[in-house]
Structure 1
């Protein structure tokens, strides 16, 4: 104790001060308490305060399906602005925003929406979570009225009214009403099916009246389904407000191989009612292929050549009833990029880079769709582009940088976003100017300051800057002298970066010496290898974080050469390079088992092929084509113009093909360039074997019996309502980039989203159980939990048909992810193999075994 120093104590006391004079009270009245679907609803709103003196009040009105509202853990408190601002937070500054309370639509999966049903002879078809939304309505003197029509949901509706006035007063008012019918049918069936699934199709019938009724129920099934009797009728003697159900035993049939044949669904028509009232429901369930499909493709070109020969070898251990060979021949290169559009159109994952690449592809498709006719259909292409552009702010951080999942900024992704927005502008789509300007400001700052993440080395940084230079030059926003300023770093750029730097000079147009020098160095680094043009280089592993690949580099070179040729840059030097690059790209397509394999490679290669075809296919085709296969004449066609669609010939797999080599010969006679694609499809029989191609994945399933978790094996029979825990263990020997874990969920299960109020938080909090599971597989080895750090799996999507977990970078080690599901339907279902894969390097993957799941009542 130092008596020469003063003693003191410090502390703080919490005082919660609420001012009732700052609160607005709201009364909401509906013209009725109960409605039929489709009826008009009138809301009368009256606002009051303690002062009883209210002027004009501005309100926002939402009418939300109660089944969705009940999923929100905080209930009405989520929406109350007075509570959000009046509650005492921590000792930091806080603001209140409803945006922070949102759970994405994808998380709901339309859980609260009834997907069918109808009264009388009409079938209801308009279903929505929100019956009415008005973000801004002024109440004169605190009073107002609105009128709207209900969708076709059979549900309760929650009315939420948020109010504010010029005196900084706030408030929330709520009310509710119901939409119902005297007779109601609701489906209690799986969300989707796999071919070969055996299941009970159940539909519940509700008598909403307060008296006894004899209700006749009829159910009929059609589509990809087999059963002893596909139609069933039954009459129920039902008490008032009684619920019953009708069931039918069905088996899904095989999906037809012809992609033009529609109807990969099981369809139901259900009727229930009497002379007083009848409800009618039409419901469809999608059926997915049981066996994972594989294909191998080879591409080729006959320009000056007259013949080409290929050896076709089908694998040995494949199913005899699936697959075959297709030959497509066209006289323009654009005819081969249809697979790229198909690849991106159906791409299943959803980080910002993938959403944006898909939007660029959709915009390109709209410009080129006449080339594909009926081969590629993309009805939502325009809407997809516009919707994607509205999402920019969801992935843009306050600095202006872009993020993959809305959390961490990434400099490469930001540069790519700027480039992609410029491409979209070329196709007639404008991004939000505020978001775009914010991004461009951020990109310009990267040219001036080293504000890159710590893992970016000098080569990576200068490569990203070359992309920024090209984008800003193309957009007319690059200051004079900027291209020349970075010339000293040209040799440190990756080849991918050098192509963009070269294009920056081409677009800027005021420094031809830099353009010439960069082109000289590019040409000096070309390597001719077995007829292919290569830009060989050695890159550190860090470049994989920028989705680097030889294919993308090759295609960016073709794109740069084609654009420069179109702009008249050094045609004497460039005239030969684009054609050689195009041939190399098509040769790579020919030798690659799956050329369209990542979003980055696909989007760059489509741009490159389109640019080349527009610039260099100048000779009008006039040739005859013939082909032989299995030693016999197979195909013949004549091309007298640019055939953008091409002709296709197909042959089914024969038993003699399996494990044997067959020769395919393609011949051309006449002028022009012949492009061909040979596609072999098959289904291997080894889905019961674990695969490890650089990633190991193991799956453990448990079911809760009482208070204990029990391992689920091949003999376990589940009951409807059982809770299942799924643990996925992933082991990688060296660092991996952008790994996705994709676990298909059996059709008899429904995932349990613990973000929602209806999920059990007690069952979700089971770290001890998970630790014991992991220790069985990995012993005492260290492993990484989900969302344990940035360098683990930290983003997930729970869908009806799959659980998907995402990462951006994983160091060597062992990882654990898990989810819960509940048995919701009875039958015998297929759990297809879980997959762990690098999204931008798909040949690095691992898969689990296929499992059979049996569920009883």
Structure 2
């Protein structure tokens, strides 16, 4: 090196993984020496891609083809396999939310009755912590029944808050539903209150105010038909007439309530197709798209409640549908602090999950789940008794590339049902990707504050920003 000069020496390096890269540079000249240490952060790639599939194993095994990822960063991501013996995570907080709900409106009281009457056995099966004792829950239901019976108007309906106020159509239908559920669960309910309530529900159209939108009127009418069926009065003709009058153009809540009542094969097939078309399938869940009328509040509508209603209908009419476990996954993932957003959502989702438990998880799990990737054994897990625990196996991306294209096999030995999710997460080697287009795209641009020449962009989309520029 010439005296009083400097030389730049470059060493090409690449990061093996995310974290902090450290290197030391030392210089020696005669008897003098010096050194410095440099630390550079290596971030997780900002751009990643995720794919997932999920399903169940009732008997034997299932095989899922796995293609080795290409053009990806091998140090990032991998294949995650999650297995469990139940699709239901803790439901305790949702029930506690309804139990502790401070407002005693007719719909809130009905919601508490519906959920406790339906969920007692399920919560006992999972030994749910934090829940009031069975005697406390039974006392709460009995108290709520007495309050609702005292609140009932002479026309058989219910107001929001106090007797002699106008009967609210939706509230009246839901309270009738709750009293029927309580009676069927063994609680004491005056038959006279049920009889006059069913008469109100039978003629629900006469009690719906004229200012209600057609969507809200149809939703309440459909719920009334559903509740009549729960009470043993299945009016197939009226249900099919309501569907045909609107040519199937009904709110999804109404369709979900009508579907179990309808008997016509053509309408049945049309509803199944419509629900499939409205399903939004993502890597982690299935939800449903539906329009919302300006006065949707009169039927206390919400998106999550719709998902719960559709799940309940699918279990009743299409128990073999592969949408069912996906909808359950979506509902469980949508919990916040262990519950959903409001009284209606918690109630109807809990009812749907109770139906799911009865249909698919009646057997107490006693099995071993095993996983193979190609010829390699990936792991196993024993499930004994009811539990919400989940087992997770992760196979790094680099190992997937070494194995090449192969099959992932999940097998079950014993009684019960295996729920699985197979998720692949990778980071593309080329971090410049086209924007996701779902009818609209999001783009980002940069502009210099001081000098426009400080920022430029190449034709391939690469940005150049002068160091220190604002």
Tell me whether the two structures share a fold, i.e. TM-score over 0.5: yes
Q: Distance in 1 between matches of 2:113 and 2:235?
A: 29
> Could you say if the C-alpha distance between residues 491 and 561 of structure 1 is closer, same or farther in structure 2, counting changes exceeding 3 Å?
same
2:169 to 411, 416, 429: 411
1:356 is matched with 110
1:498 is matched with 255
Q: Distance in 1 between matches of 2:110 and 2:94?
A: 15
Matched, 1:476 2:232: yes
* Alpha-carbon displacement from aligned partner over 1:2-41 (angstroms, at most 9, x marks no partner): xxxxxxxxxxxxxxxxxxxxxxxxxxxxxxxxxxxxxxxx
Q: Distance in 2 between matches of 1:302 and 1:513?
A: 29
Given that 2:55 and 2:322 are in contact with CA atoms closer than 8 Å, whether structure 1 keeps it comes out as no
**Where is the helix percentage greater, Structure 1 or Structure 2?**
2
> Could you say if the C-alpha distance between residues 583 and 431 of structure 1 is closer, same or farther in structure 2, counting changes exceeding 3 Å?
same
2:344 to 600, 603, 606: 600
1:540 is matched with 293
Give 1:468 deviation, angstroms.
Answer: 0.7
1:702 is matched with none
> Could you say if the C-alpha distance between residues 565 and 532 of structure 1 is closer, same or farther in structure 2, counting changes exceeding 3 Å?
same
Give 1:495 deviation, angstroms.
Answer: 0.5
1:443-462, aligned counterparts within 5 Å? 443-447=201-205, 449=206, 451-462=207-218
* Alpha-carbon displacement from aligned partner over 1:299-342 (angstroms, at most 9, x marks no partner): x989689xxxxxxxxxxxxxxxxxxxxxxx96223442222222
> Could you say if the C-alpha distance between residues 422 and 490 of structure 1 is closer, same or farther in structure 2, counting changes exceeding 3 Å?
farther
Given that 1:335 and 1:371 are in contact with CA atoms closer than 8 Å, whether structure 2 keeps it comes out as no
2:92 to 318, 338, 351: 338
1:611 is matched with 355
1:640 is matched with 383
SS in 2 for 1:583: helix
Given that 2:151 and 2:158 are in contact with CA atoms closer than 8 Å, whether structure 1 keeps it comes out as yes
Q: Distance in 2 between matches of 1:594 and 1:337?
A: 7
Matched, 1:576 2:302: no
Give 1:606 deviation, angstroms.
Answer: 1.2
Give 1:430 deviation, angstroms.
Answer: 4.9
Structure with more relative contact order (C-alpha pairs < 8 Å, separation 6 or more): 2
Give 1:452 deviation, angstroms.
Answer: 1.6
SS in 1 for 2:341: coil
Q: Distance in 1 between matches of 2:114 and 2:217?
A: 25
Give 1:486 deviation, angstroms.
Answer: 1.1
Select the structure of larger CA radius of gyration: 1
**Where is the strand percentage greater, Structure 1 or Structure 2?**
1
> Could you say if the C-alpha distance between residues 342 and 399 of structure 1 is closer, same or farther in structure 2, counting changes exceeding 3 Å?
same
> Could you say if the C-alpha distance between residues 554 and 647 of structure 1 is closer, same or farther in structure 2, counting changes exceeding 3 Å?
closer
SS in 1 for 2:187: coil
> Could you say if the C-alpha distance between residues 639 and 596 of structure 1 is closer, same or farther in structure 2, counting changes exceeding 3 Å?
farther
Given that 1:335 and 1:644 are in contact with CA atoms closer than 8 Å, whether structure 2 keeps it comes out as no
List, as ranges, runs of 4+ consecutive aligned residues in structure 1 with deviation greater than 6 Å: none
Q: Distance in 2 between matches of 1:441 and 1:613?
A: 32
SS in 1 for 2:281: strand
SS in 1 for 2:334: helix
In the alignment of these two chains, the number of paired residues is: 313
Q: Distance in 1 between matches of 2:368 and 2:341?
A: 33
* Alpha-carbon displacement from aligned partner over 1:593-620 (angstroms, at most 9, x marks no partner): 6642322111111121222233234785
2:12 is matched with none
1:667 is matched with 393
SS in 2 for 1:600: helix
Given that 1:389 and 1:432 are in contact with CA atoms closer than 8 Å, whether structure 2 keeps it comes out as no
> Could you say if the C-alpha distance between residues 593 and 392 of structure 1 is closer, same or farther in structure 2, counting changes exceeding 3 Å?
closer
Give 1:490 deviation, angstroms.
Answer: 5.5
Q: Which runs of 5+ in 1 are unaligned?
A: 1-299, 306-328, 567-573, 626-635, 649-664, 677-857
* Alpha-carbon displacement from aligned partner over 1:389-440 (angstroms, at most 9, x marks no partner): 2222332222221111012321111121222233323322353211111111
> Could you say if the C-alpha distance between residues 373 and 675 of structure 1 is closer, same or farther in structure 2, counting changes exceeding 3 Å?
farther
> Could you say if the C-alpha distance between residues 429 and 564 of structure 1 is closer, same or farther in structure 2, counting changes exceeding 3 Å?
farther
TM-score (norm 1): 0.33
* Alpha-carbon displacement from aligned partner over 1:239-278 (angstroms, at most 9, x marks no partner): xxxxxxxxxxxxxxxxxxxxxxxxxxxxxxxxxxxxxxxx
Given that 2:218 and 2:250 are in contact with CA atoms closer than 8 Å, whether structure 1 keeps it comes out as yes
Q: Distance in 2 between matches of 1:624 and 1:373?
A: 26
1:503-582, aligned counterparts within 5 Å? 503-505=260-262, 509=263, 511-565=264-318, 574-582=320-328
Give 1:364 deviation, angstroms.
Answer: 2.6
Q: Distance in 1 between matches of 2:55 and 2:279?
A: 23
Q: Distance in 1 between matches of 2:185 and 2:141?
A: 10
SS in 2 for 1:397: coil
> Could you say if the C-alpha distance between residues 399 and 335 of structure 1 is closer, same or farther in structure 2, counting changes exceeding 3 Å?
same
> Could you say if the C-alpha distance between residues 675 and 372 of structure 1 is closer, same or farther in structure 2, counting changes exceeding 3 Å?
farther
Q: Distance in 1 between matches of 2:321 and 2:128?
A: 35
Given that 1:363 and 1:381 are in contact with CA atoms closer than 8 Å, whether structure 2 keeps it comes out as no
Given that 1:418 and 1:468 are in contact with CA atoms closer than 8 Å, whether structure 2 keeps it comes out as no
1:377 to 132, 142, 151: 132
Q: Distance in 1 between matches of 2:188 and 2:257?
A: 23
* Alpha-carbon displacement from aligned partner over 1:133-160 (angstroms, at most 9, x marks no partner): xxxxxxxxxxxxxxxxxxxxxxxxxxxx
Q: Which runs of 5+ in 2 are unaligned?
A: 1-52, 57-61, 65-82, 372-378, 395-409, 422-470
Matched, 1:422 2:180: yes
1:238-387, aligned counterparts within 5 Å? 331-373=85-127, 375=129, 376-378=131-133, 379-387=135-143
2:38 is matched with none
> Could you say if the C-alpha distance between residues 667 and 423 of structure 1 is closer, same or farther in structure 2, counting changes exceeding 3 Å?
farther
2:14 is matched with none
Give 1:559 deviation, angstroms.
Answer: 0.9
337-346 or 517-526, which moves further after superposition?
Answer: 517-526
1:68-467, aligned counterparts within 5 Å? 331-373=85-127, 375=129, 376-378=131-133, 379-406=135-162, 407-447=165-205, 449=206, 451-467=207-223
Q: Distance in 2 between matches of 1:594 and 1:496?
A: 24
Give 1:444 deviation, angstroms.
Answer: 1.6
1:486 to 242, 266, 290: 242
* Alpha-carbon displacement from aligned partner over 1:771-803 (angstroms, at most 9, x marks no partner): xxxxxxxxxxxxxxxxxxxxxxxxxxxxxxxxx
1:678-717, aligned counterparts within 5 Å? none
